[in-house]
Amino acid sequence: MMEMHAGALHISLYPFLAAASKYVKESGVTLDDLITAVVFERARLRGKERVREALKEGTVRKPVIMSTAQAEVELLSYPFARILVSCIGDERLVRRYALSEAKSAYEKLKEDSSSDTDIIDELSREFGIRVDLVRLPHEQGREQVHLPFVDYLRFTSTLRDKRWKLVNRRLEKGWVKLRRGEFLRIIQEAIYERVKRDLPLDVPKALCESLSSYTEDIRQELEVLRRKYDDRGFEPVSGFQVRDPRSFPPCIAAILGNLRDGVNVPHTARFAVTAFLLNIGLTGDEIIEIYKNAPDFDEERTRYQVEHIAGDKGGVRYTTPSCDTMRTYGNCVGSDETCEKVAHPLSYYKLKLKVKRKEGQEGKSTKRKSAGLDLRL
């Protein structure tokens, strides 16, 4: 076993740090050791559990580290988890795993930064962000994080909520002013990109086959997760009044698929899919459940937005944008023959259901005729 010091207790909870990779390298533990040595079996099992937690919970738990042995297991489980994800080679699993690691780190960072401001400096250096930590004179114990607008743009390009747009931020002499929590949310995006980087790794086929006892359970759980969604990316939820989600227009199905996979979805797309689902009978709670995979999910904020679109806040119930509007905002994707016959996503949906009902009735009629023919014979 490698010798551990106090620093390992910290980096074991943030294994994506460059210091963690360096530490493992300098420890002398080889890839062959990690994969085959009996002494590292706990690390392998924990690595498998990291991936399963990402699939089932959308997060990776951060255990309380009480000993150097626990720190070692947690630290080494991260590279093994990356190997397992790579062997399975599923793009959605890669995104879900990376997002789960990033979300978990974000929650831990919020907890740690409340008592340790040095962690902001550490993360800034880690990701090459220039920051200026300013203590607020009238708010004891609170700081404001300032960073150059060029760095702000670099790390918020994937954040789709309009509150992250530069025009909606406080900008002074080229520096963007952020609350500590907002800065950590930006760091979550940097962590996501760091974890996802290079995945899937180029793992030899023979090595992946030797790890089948670890990957088989993950594959099965991934298949269960897939079956919860239809092939258009929608997860049926309790109380859903529509029988066939395959009747959804391609644009709505694509947005739902991105939400499922933890992809950042622009505000215009979120508005469109929320309005669509409300108009076909989903409740606010059911729609909020769909958003829980979103990287920047905030239940209180999401609930407010859903209720606003539903008309609960302002009295005006919104409908889905037209096809022309969807095209204007770049949300019209996967257009098919039915799209050419309609001008609105809800019209697409109604037409699809009408056609399927007609086909179903014709099928029943054919069966009755066949049954009568068989009887005569």
Q: How far apart are CA 53 and CA 44, in angstroms?
A: 14
User: Does residue 334 sit in the same domain as residue 290?
Assistant: yes
The answer to whether residues 234 and 318 belong to one domain is yes
pLDDT digits (tens, 9 = 90+) for 154-180: 888 888 777 888 888 989 999 999 988
Per the domain annotation, does 99 fall within a domain? no
Residues 212 and 235 in one domain: no
Give tens-digit pLDDT for 124-161. Answer: 899 998 888 887 766 555 778 999 999 999 888 888 77
For residue 40, which amino acid is it?
F
pTM > 0.95: no
Instruction: Using alpha carbons, select from 180, 184, 188 the residue that is nearest to residue 100.
Output: 188
The answer to whether residue 35 is domain-embedded is yes
Count of structural domains, the chain: 3
Q: Considering only 68-77, 205-214, 286-295, 353-362, which range has the smallest mean pLDDT? A: 353-362
Q: Dihedral of CA 222/282/60/147: which sign? A: positive
Task: Transcribe 84-100 into DSSP letters.
Answer: HHHHH--HHHHHHHHHH
> Nearest to residue 310, comparing CAs of 342, 343, 288, 332?
288
Residue 363 falls within a domain, yes or no?
Answer: no
Q: Specify the amino acid at residue 129.
A: I
Determine the average pLDDT of the residues in 297-308: 89
Q: Are residues 61 and 177 in the same domain?
A: no
Domain limits for position 275: 229-353
Same domain, 329 and 188: no
Residues 6+ apart with CB under 8 A from 148: 130, 174, 175, 176
**322 within a domain of the structure (yes/no):** yes
- What angle is formed at CA 331 by the lines to CA 326 and CA 336, rounded to 5 degrees? 85
Q: How far apart are the first and last CA of the chain?
A: 80
